[in-house]
């Protein structure tokens, strides 16, 4: 009998796909906002466009903005650390990159705002 090893999930929480068009501003980071594509209480995945072929600096802080039918949603000054930064592999847009950021020491208020954002804009 063949023993098949299961793939080990390294994340504590699964990142959920995001609906709508929430954007993220990374500081320091690229001059244009990136699109939030997946999010969890631990991390966020952002697709952004590299400008002039330069890779932006490590991101230390993040703002996320989204338009809601009732009110705008703003998550400001979330402390983050860069987990990975890689090409999206898109043939159409070779400048597109994907950056995964882990939330680092967020306050209870920021965590509540993040949880509310996930309930409103993510599905899994």
**60-100 per-position pLDDT tens digit:** 999 999 987 777 889 999 999 999 988 877 666 677 889 99
Would residue 92 be called left, alpha or beta, if left means φ above 0 and alpha means ψ between -120 and 50 degrees? alpha
For the cut 70, the answer to whether the pLDDT of residue 4 exceeds it is no
For the purposes of burial, counting CB atoms within 10 Å of the CB of 80, is it exposed (0-12), middle (13-18) or buried (19 or more)? buried
Helix locations, 1-124, DSSP H: 108-121
| CATH superfamily of the domain spanning 16-123 | predicted glycosyltransferase like domains (2.40.10.220)
The predicted model gives 4-20 an average pLDDT of 67
For the cut 90, the answer to whether the pLDDT of residue 124 exceeds it is no
Q: Which two tokens stand for residue 87?
A: 């090409």
Mean of all residue pLDDT scores within the chain: 84
């Amino acid at each position: 009998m063949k023993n098949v090893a299961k793939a080990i999930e390294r994340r504590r929480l699964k990142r959920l796909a995001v609906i709508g068009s929430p954007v993220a501003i990374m500081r320091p980071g690229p001059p244009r906002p990136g699109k939030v594509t997946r999010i969890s209480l631990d991390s966020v995945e952002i697709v952004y466009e590299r400008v002039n072929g330069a890779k932006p600096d490590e991101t230390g802080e993040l703002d996320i903005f989204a338009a809601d039918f009732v009110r705008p949603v703003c998550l400001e000054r979330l402390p983050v650390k860069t987990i990975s930064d890689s090409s999206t592999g898109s043939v159409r847009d070779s400048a597109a990159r994907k950056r995964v950021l882990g939330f680092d020491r967020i306050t209870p208020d920021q965590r509540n705002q993040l949880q509310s954002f996930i309930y409103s804009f993510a599905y899994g």
